[in-house]
Structure 1
Amino acid sequence: MRTSCTPLGRSPARRAVPIAAALALTAGLLTALAPAAQAAADGSRARSAAAGATVPFTSVEAESATSDGTRIGPDHTQGTVASESSGRQAVRLAAGQHVEFTLPGAANAVNVAYSVPDGQSGSLAVYVNGAKLDRSLAVTSKYSYVDTPWIQGSKTHHLLDNARLLLGRNAGAGDKVRLEATGTQVTVDVADFEQVAAAGGKPSGAVSVTDKGADPSGQGDSTQAFREAVAAAKGGTVWIPPGEFKLTQSLSNVDDVRIRGAGAWHSVVRSSRFIDQSSAPTGKVGLHDFAVIGEVTERVDSNPDNFVNGSLGPDSAVSGMWLQHLKVGMWLMGNNDNLVVEKNRFLDMTADGLNLNGTARGVRVRDNFLRNTGDDALAMWSLNTTNSDSAFIGNTVSQPNLANGIAIYGGRNITVKDNLVLDTNALGSGIAVSNQKFLDPFFPLAGTIKVSGNSLVRTGAMNPNWNHPMGALRVDAYDSAIEATVEITDTTITDSPWSAYEFVSGGVTGKAVRNVTVDRSTVTRVGTVVVQAETPGAVRMSNVKATSVGAVGVYNCPYPSGSGSFTLTDGGGNSGWDSVWEDCSTWPQPGGGNPDPDPRRNLAKSRPATATGSTDVYTPGKAVDGDAATYWESTNHAFPQALTVDLGKAEPVRRVVLKLPPPAAWAARTQTLSVQGSTDGSGYSTLVASKPYRFDPATGNTATIDVPASAPDVRHLRLHVTANTGWPAAQFGEVEAYLS
């Protein structure tokens, strides 16, 4: 298994990135504020009109209930219980304290997300309308406090767990359900109340595992009975009746058979490894309506501690499953073409919820609920061969506590549609579209990647390896440029603690992000910026409407310095985010706008630079990277040549300093040039007429040009070079522009 969606390549103490590159608006200024959508802002698990799974339960947050405990959060700090909780809040109960929920509808069962201190166990006594039940919810730290020291930037995480209970009675809307901590401190996050249907009946002709000797008490080992039932039922159905069944080994050779239970609350398999088979079956497999609950307490990537490890074969289906306490719910390799995974619950995985690990075509993963995964909740990873024409549709992902909610690593013609993602934690975004390969052979993004109708609530995180954030929705040219067409439409981003959209090359190599369009998006209460651009490329954004932006609209700072520029094209209909962060040596903090700029600063440093031509590696960005030892050299034997720097906004430039590399190997030379300026990058006026300027290593290889006070403010500063006595090309080690 791959290592997690982990360090994005930067050292833990990332050096300051140079001053911001400007926002290029090619279709005019951002205009007209429009109302912002509030979809799913309250953290409700019920499906909204546009995004998320239809679930059979209703969730109630502990912080909205009545309690004599202590409310904790909100918190976004990695490694805290509140930061991993839904809504970033929970209620901490000392022994004897309680939280009481008012039921929103009929229920006879509850599932509670909770946390207890490391090394402790206890229980939650349950009361309905003041009457104590004869059963309680066991709580334990056994499945929590996971450490993954091989993942750079990770801390002890996976601090919550889920525990479920059939109440043994029916309760109605308005009834009170009280949970009281017994024996230990318990932090209660959220309670899912559900009306569980009666156990289903045995399908006609099905082979029951109990007929083959399986023990429904959960005491004996039923592995062999399950294997015999699977073999006997080939072409038909295996029946798991109500009860608990212990499997000590995994099943293999599951081929052309349906395995069905009486319902996920009734038929329970206790196993950390249910199916493990590397060869694709010849006939389709069905897995329906039972629970598989494991005993995985740590993440060991070499162990196949998964519900499904390998292949189910083409045209298979998985539905109605309750999967819990495993490493990965479904780690899918080999031929899983046209697989449908729907209406399942994935809880408390130490790694991924579901990962399509290459070779998957036409897969549909839809209407699933995932909570508290320890890596990407839903992922497609095109290793060995490519995933193609597959989709994640209408799923709800809550609280992935280390990586992304939904991640697409390579693949062709992939769809991510109508999903709801909530409360991501460290090292992850709500949705990531990425060329991070992890291993070879990897197949980068290709064709058209459609990301549409998704709602992201409190997603994005502070990456401890970068010491700055990951956006709610990230497009990442990690190991190779984004060449596929990426269409992002109808996205709602609410309460992102940091940024909304991030365009980056996490491998720190400055790979470009291209062919990306963002259309029809509502961004509400973003902590810092709407657009976080950190790599070269070009993105077109239209009808993106933002309100309550914490700092400024755009942070445009390609990294590494000199790797190129990022062009953000205004496609029209945008509003609320036209301001630009001005100093990439600092990262904007939530609620903080641009600091007062230093009037002595070099306006040209690390701004986008273009030229009429360049030679070899001596690209335009080398002239504005803050290092005079690197330089731009134009096309040789082709005067005139010009270098243009985009300052980001119109500035009253009064002094231009030109430098060549300082070593004595650079003989003295004279370059003849003029200084020109423009407000729009189209029409240029002459600020300083053409004349020769002497560059002499003995005096620092520097020339200073004073710009008249009468010269107009300019955004685009151009140096127009017609001659060089030392080389048949224009050359600049550094171009600096100052206000005085």
Structure 2
Amino acid sequence: MAVAAVTAATVGLSVALAAPALANRGPNGSAAPVVTRAALAPSLVAGRGADVDFVEQEAENATTNGTTIGPDRTAYTLPAEASGRKAVKLTSGQYVEFTLPSAANAITVRYSIPDAPDGGGITAPLNVTVNGGAKKVMTLTSQYAWLYNQYQFSNNPNADLLHPDWWITECACVPSATTPTPTITKPFRPMHFYDEQRLLLGKTYRAGDKVRLTVPAGSNTASTVIDLLDSELVGAPHVRLLAANVLAFGADPSGRRDSADALDKAIAFAKRSHLKVYIPPGTYQVNRHIIVDNVTIEGAGSWYTIIKGREVALSTPAPDGSVHTGVGFYGKDAAAGGSKDVHLSGFAIEGDVRERIDTDQVNGIGGAMSNSTIDGLHIRHTKVGMWFDGPMTNLRITNNVIVDQIADAINFHTGVTNSVVSNNFIRNTGDDGLAMWAEKTANTGNTFDHNTVQTPTLANGIAIYGGTDNTVSNNLVADPIREGSGIHVGSRFGAEAFTGHLWIKNNTTARAGTYELNWNIGLGAIWFYALEKNIDADIQVVGNNFLDSTYNAIMLVSDWPVKDLYSITNVHFKDTKVDGTGTSVVSARVKGSASFENVDARNVGAVGVNNCGSFNFPPTGSEFSLTDLGGNDGGGTTGPWLAPWELPNTITCDDRPPVVAPPAPSAW
């Protein structure tokens, strides 16, 4: 979400993690292709997440003369932000080589190169060859990576504390209460290390062909980290002959001239003529919002039609507080009635956002859009990929790729109803990947289904803040980094209360259950947080798999200042598999109750239920009670995870239990 917790810390956790399976080797010693999904065997996540057109291969499973870094889940480290918590580090002359598992004519490389000494990023070349043939050169950049310091963060690695009066766990103190203010090590809390680039190879290569990424001799970067390669067979460009073609209205496909006015003219003509707008292949410079209402805009495909813009400083702040504008397609403001019947498809939006300013409207898609569809876009380098302020209804967001955001990927901010986010792929957000934030007005009847969310560098993969009758189903969430986890249900940030029901069904999380740097404790792969109101709606958590959780699989928690004010009740866990926890299956740090049925667990690192309640420890037992509805099997080092003696509310409180890293997940 675009508003984050106001504190941050760097006390992290290094865990000895089980390594993924080594790559198979062919007779010549080259690596046979190892295909993964979120760095897991695809069989472990079958039916979960987005069905995408590309194939993922982790660099650590490929052939290389570089150095594997990781595994590590400690915040502010390069391997912690890598998919699967491992990557390959290359220096001048070194390479990593991937064997194509299927025909491909396009690749995406996820990488990290160092920042400039004073911030702002650098560029560096990366050579791409296939089967030793002609060289293509990718120009990598760190201009959109490397944030530092406290929220809302800084691009300057040498900056002093942005908020000297905030709690800093590195010194276990409140700085304003100390003399002098503690000294920090600079750069302080570096993060958001990775970026990615796409490349059309110019021809179709076959399965078994070898894509080699090489750092050329004499490169100006000390190291280049390669996380993964996605390969894809991209189809021919989409053509729409009977349409308002933007070229006829003066748009420049070379990107040299600004095409915003041409798009406006094409849209106006299309609406008068009852035509669609067509944007043919090319790169179009657009440096402001394009307002859309009752219009269909089609590109030739997100690999071919690219809408790219600079971030532009405004001479005076806008009424909404924005101090910049930039490329984006916006529905009309809800206060002005919003937009309807907007249909966007088949193009890329590439922004130029390098710093986080929460008041800025520099999102890829924004405003209010009812009875609308957004399909097949590729969005990167904006603040939020798609941010919607209702009231609005019946929006369908499908088949999009949203990467490398400063904040969220998609946020239903307020008053969004009966809308669906389905089959979208999200990677490397700077805040929640998918969020419903019911600030002021409830979000009602919405569904997040079959999406993949990987490596959010802050906050959660999927977060639901209040609302009524919403569903989170069949999603895959992997590798959240800090101050959040896989799936989050939170009464916070001024959200309306949870009412009606919330269904959380058939999702899989991997390597979640992160370290909460402000509290100095581990979270759950799914966690419930009652900060501002009770959470007492009918919440069904059914059919979910929590794999390789760094700490807990499930957490229910309040905050110390309100621990006796709010509770969490009416939560029901059923048909759940927990494969590997660093600590417990359930951690309860709140008053309330939950029921458990057919929750099977294995490789549990600590006591199955860490039941602290609200820390009042009355003689009658914990303030949090667990109801055993049967079929809760398995456990770990301390025996059955839901032992009879723990029920209903035995106090089994260990505030910071030791971590036992589990083995890698496997078939159940």
TM-score above 0.5: yes
Q: Which amino acid aligns with 1:179?
A: L
1:583/1:433 CA distance change after superposition, 3 Å: closer
- Which of 510, 535, 556 aligns to 2:590? It is 535
8 Å contact 1:43–1:86 — kept in the other structure?
A: no
Q: Distance in 2 between matches of 1:370 and 1:94?
A: 29
> 1:295 maps to what in 2?
352
Gaps of 5+ in 1: 14-38, 594-740
Q: Which amino acid aligns with 1:49?
A: A
Q: Which amino acid aligns with 1:497?
A: T
> 1:257 maps to what in 2?
295
Query: Counterparts of 1:481-630 in structure 2 under 5 Å?
Result: 481-506=534-559, 508-510=561-563, 511-561=566-616, 565-575=623-633, 576=635, 577-578=641-642, 584=653, 586-591=655-660
8 Å contact 2:515–2:521 — kept in the other structure?
A: yes
Shift of 1:554: 1.1
Correspondence 1:477 to 2:512: no
> 1:306 maps to what in 2?
363
Counterpart secondary structure, 1:413: strand
8 Å contact 1:108–1:196 — kept in the other structure?
A: yes
8 Å contact 2:617–2:651 — kept in the other structure?
A: no
8 Å contact 1:199–1:266 — kept in the other structure?
A: yes
> 1:68 maps to what in 2?
65
Query: Counterparts of 1:180-259 in structure 2 under 5 Å?
Result: 180-182=214-216, 183=219, 184=221, 185-204=223-242, 206-234=243-271, 235-252=274-291, 254-259=292-297
Shift of 1:41: 7.8
8 Å contact 1:47–1:53 — kept in the other structure?
A: no
Q: Which amino acid aligns with 2:503?
A: K
1:325/1:45 CA distance change after superposition, 3 Å: farther
Q: Distance in 2 between matches of 1:44 and 1:320?
A: 26
> 1:123 maps to what in 2?
125
> 1:424 maps to what in 2?
480
Shift of 1:121: 2.0
Q: Distance in 2 between matches of 1:323 and 1:40?
A: 21
- Which of 37, 49, 53 aligns to 2:50? It is 53
8 Å contact 1:208–1:239 — kept in the other structure?
A: yes
Q: Which amino acid aligns with 1:273?
A: V
Q: Which moved more, 1:285-294 or 1:501-510?
A: 501-510
Q: Which amino acid aligns with 2:201?
A: L
Counterpart secondary structure, 2:306: strand
Cα deviation code 1:103-150 (max 9, x no counterpart): 1101000001110011232121011011132x2222111000123623
8 Å contact 1:236–1:256 — kept in the other structure?
A: no
Q: Distance in 2 between matches of 1:110 and 1:46?
A: 23
Q: Which moved more, 1:147-156 or 1:102-111?
A: 147-156
Gaps of 5+ in 2: 12-35, 117-121, 153-165, 169-187, 310-325, 636-640, 663-668
Counterpart secondary structure, 2:263: helix
Counterpart secondary structure, 1:451: strand
Q: Distance in 1 between matches of 2:512 and 2:69?
A: 19
- Which of 385, 392, 403 aligns to 2:459? It is 403
> 1:456 maps to what in 2?
509
Q: Which moved more, 1:90-99 or 1:142-151?
A: 142-151
1:92/1:46 CA distance change after superposition, 3 Å: farther
Q: Which moved more, 1:142-151 or 1:265-274?
A: 142-151
8 Å contact 1:342–1:367 — kept in the other structure?
A: yes
Q: Which amino acid aligns with 1:58?
A: V
Q: Distance in 2 between matches of 1:70 and 1:57?
A: 26
> 2:139 maps to what in 1?
138
Shift of 1:559: 3.2
Q: Distance in 1 between matches of 2:351 and 2:402?
A: 12
1:88/1:592 CA distance change after superposition, 3 Å: closer
Counterpart secondary structure, 2:247: helix
Q: Distance in 2 between matches of 1:174 and 1:282?
A: 48
Correspondence 1:81 to 2:81: no
1:198/1:354 CA distance change after superposition, 3 Å: same
Counterpart secondary structure, 2:551: coil
Q: How many residues align?
A: 559
Q: Distance in 2 between matches of 1:12 and 1:536?
A: 29
Q: Which amino acid aligns with 1:267?
A: T
8 Å contact 2:400–2:425 — kept in the other structure?
A: yes
Q: Which amino acid aligns with 1:288?
A: S
Q: Distance in 2 between matches of 1:281 and 1:586?
A: 49
Q: Distance in 1 between matches of 2:300 and 2:532?
A: 46
1:549/1:424 CA distance change after superposition, 3 Å: same
Q: Distance in 2 between matches of 1:41 and 1:231?
A: 43
Q: Distance in 1 between matches of 2:44 and 2:282?
A: 31
Q: Distance in 1 between matches of 2:10 and 2:349?
A: 39
Shift of 1:44: 5.5
8 Å contact 2:611–2:652 — kept in the other structure?
A: no
Q: Distance in 1 between matches of 2:87 and 2:600?
A: 31
8 Å contact 1:402–1:428 — kept in the other structure?
A: yes
Counterpart secondary structure, 1:336: strand
Counterpart secondary structure, 1:380: strand
Q: Which amino acid aligns with 1:131?
A: G
- Which of 389, 392, 411 aligns to 1:355? It is 411
> 1:274 maps to what in 2?
328
Structure number with larger C-alpha Rg: 1
1:509/1:203 CA distance change after superposition, 3 Å: farther
Q: Which amino acid aligns with 1:565?
A: E
